[in-house]
Amino acid sequence: MSQLYTREVTSSGRTTYKPVTTEPPTDYHVESEQVTTLLSTLVISMLMSIETQLPPHAKIAREVKLLEAAVLRFAQLNKTKLDDPLIAVGIETWAAALMAMQTGLQRIGVAQ
Q: Indicate whether 101 belongs to any domain.
A: yes
* pLDDT at 17 (0 to 100): 87
pLDDT (tens digit per residue) in 9-51: 889 999 988 887 766 666 777 888 888 888 888 898 889 888 8
Q: Based on the structure, what is the number of domains in the chain?
A: 1
How much of the chain is in helix, strand and coil states, percent to nearest 5? 55, 10, 35
**Owning domain of residue 46:** 30-107
* pLDDT at 1 (0 to 100): 46
Confidence of residue 95 (pLDDT cuts 50, 70, 90): confident
Alpha carbons 89 and 16: distance in angstroms, whole number? 33
pTM over 0.85: no
* pLDDT at 101 (0 to 100): 85
Give me the mean pLDDT over the 45-61 stretch: 89
pLDDT at 87 over 80: yes
Q: Indicate whether 12 belongs to any domain.
A: no
Q: Indicate whether 10 belongs to any domain.
A: no
Q: Indicate whether 20 belongs to any domain.
A: no
Spatial neighbors of 80 by CB under 8 A, at least 6 apart, are 31, 33, 34, 36, 37
% of the chain residues with pLDDT over 70 = 90
**Beta carbons of 76 and 25 less than 8 angstroms apart:** no
